[in-house]
A and B are shown apart, each in its own frame.
Chain A
Amino acid sequence: MADVIQMNYMLIPVIYRFGINLGFGDKTVKEICDETEVDLNFFLQLVNTYHDKDYFPKEELQTIPSKNIVAYLKMTHSSYLNEKLSEIEGLIEALQHAEAEDEKYILLIRNFFEGYKNELTEHIMHEEELVFPYVLAVEEICKTGMVSARNRQLYESFSIVEYQDGHDDVEEKLMDLKTIMIKYLTPPSNTNLYHKIIQLLFMLEQDLNYHSRIEDKVLIPKMILMEKTVAELI
């Protein structure tokens, strides 16, 4: 496992989302997965997906229960909301305090980031409150072949196609923010902090890309298949 992290430090937050903490000595990936009750197959697929952007094992990931995928996506969501966003926000605030002259521009950036944050939060809430319960309900129907009243209601309330359509690019604003900071702003005197913010934005963007790739390429195709099964059942 230590080799995995040495190879790509971007995986530190990823393994943490699985509940794996650093300080694992020379234990292998399998040993740690067994200890923390993480599905080894799922873990490997996901880590490889993150590490190598051309590696995308759609078929293997398709066989993993949606429950696990949803659980993982939820963990990433909470890490965005509770850590990443507030970290960047904090830095922008610090920048604002440190600067006297350019304050006006930093306020602009801050407002812009706030707007982005709200949009992302809304998107995440929508997924957690509507999409994920729906996914779980459909999977339960498929697995048991029974349609409980609650699941039926959930099934009829939504369709994954709707999600696909509404799954618009929340990353657009993030890209704009980066572009503005790189191309159009004169950096404030505290360049160190300024650079750090930009680097964090890049990392957040990368992480979000992987995240939405799993949603778009794994969860949605899987749901489309399951919806067909359910439609036949009902």
Chain B
Amino acid sequence: MDNITIVVAEASCLIQKGLVALLKNLDGTQVIQKLDKAEGLFESLSTLKPNILILNPDLFDGNADLINQSCAKLEACKLVIISNEKEVENKYSADAYIHYSDRQDKIMDCFESLKEDLDKKYKKEKSDDTISAREKNILKHIALGLTNKEIADQLFISIHTVVTHRKNITQKLGIKSVSGLTVYAILNNLISMDEVK
């Protein structure tokens, strides 16, 4: 993975700056946003889509329910809780925990292992980036303008399977609309231009 993006949400400017300085030593990571208040945090996360969120629960007055609930909704984002409280591990469900009194090597170890996790996951995703022969066939049918039901009937599979294939195709190609998929199919000679109505 080229660049791991990090958002730091911490009210204390000293701690925030300290964290950012430490993260500078970690290659392949980038702090893309620093916040010192809770407002707009989760809103901006949905657009920033960081790989790691470092959050101080004090921002939400230590409201564990709210934090756990909101963070559970974040897809593919690792959560690091930074706090001065004891036993934060039991209170919040995060991927890692940093305590104010932690030494530098402990903090760096924590980030290193998160980075490794993310790298591994990314490689896995990357390896099956191209669409399979089966998916190509489904894509062809989608491009011809068939509905999920029609595709299921023609290929003797369940609608549920068709939907799963569609989801995978969209995710791999980054194209959502039917007309976009059609263009892709023509460009890759899955169908000819005359076949499209």
Q: Which of B40, B173, B179 interacts with A54 by CB under 8 Å?
A: B40
A105 lies within 8 A of B187 (CB): yes
Q: Does A145 contact B (CB under 8 A)?
A: no
Interface size class of B (residues with CB under 8 A): 10 to 19
B179 lies within 8 A of A173 (CB): yes
Q: Which of B33, B40, B180, B193 interacts with A180 by CB under 8 Å?
A: B180
Contacts of B177 in A (CB 8 A): 172-173, 176
A172 lies within 8 A of B176 (CB): yes
Q: Contacts A54-B40, A54-B44, A56-B40 given: A108-B176 contact, CB under 8 Å?
A: no
Contacts of A115 in B (CB 8 A): 179
A173 lies within 8 A of B180 (CB): yes
Q: Does A109 contact B (CB under 8 A)?
A: yes
Contacts of B176 in A (CB 8 A): 172, 175-176
Contacting residues of chain B (1-53) with chain A, CB-CB under 8 angstroms: 33, 40, 43-44, 47
Interchain nearest-CB distance for A183 vs B (Å): 7
Contacts of A175 in B (CB 8 A): 176
**Using a Cβ–Cβ cut-off of 8 Å, how many residues does chain A contribute to the interface with B?**
19
Q: Does A126 contact B (CB under 8 A)?
A: no
Contacts of A112 in B (CB 8 A): 179-180, 183
CB-based nearest B residue for A109: B183
Contacts of A173 in B (CB 8 A): 177, 179-180
B47 lies within 8 A of A176 (CB): no
A108 lies within 8 A of B175 (CB): no
B174 lies within 8 A of A183 (CB): yes
Q: Contacts A112-B183, A184-B184, A185-B187 given: A53-B175 contact, CB under 8 Å?
A: no
Q: Does B186 contact A (CB under 8 A)?
A: yes
B175 lies within 8 A of A176 (CB): yes
Q: State in angstroms the CA–CA spacing of A105 and B184 once bound together.
A: 10
Interchain nearest-CB distance for A181 vs B (Å): 10
A179 lies within 8 A of B174 (CB): yes
Q: Does A123 contact B (CB under 8 A)?
A: no
Q: State in angstroms the CA–CA spacing of A115 and B178 once bound together.
A: 11
Extra inter-chain contacts (19) besides given A108-B183, A176-B177, A184-B188, CB under 8 Å: A53-B47, A54-B44, A104-B193, A108-B186, A108-B193, A109-B183, A172-B177, A173-B177, A173-B179, A176-B175, A179-B174, A179-B175, A180-B175, A180-B180, A180-B187, A183-B173, A183-B174, A184-B187, A185-B187
Q: Can you list 22 A-B contacts (CB < 8 A)? A: A54-B33, A54-B40, A56-B43, A104-B193, A105-B187, A108-B183, A108-B187, A108-B193, A109-B183, A112-B179, A112-B180, A172-B177, A175-B176, A176-B176, A176-B180, A179-B175, A179-B180, A180-B180, A180-B187, A183-B173, A184-B187, A184-B188
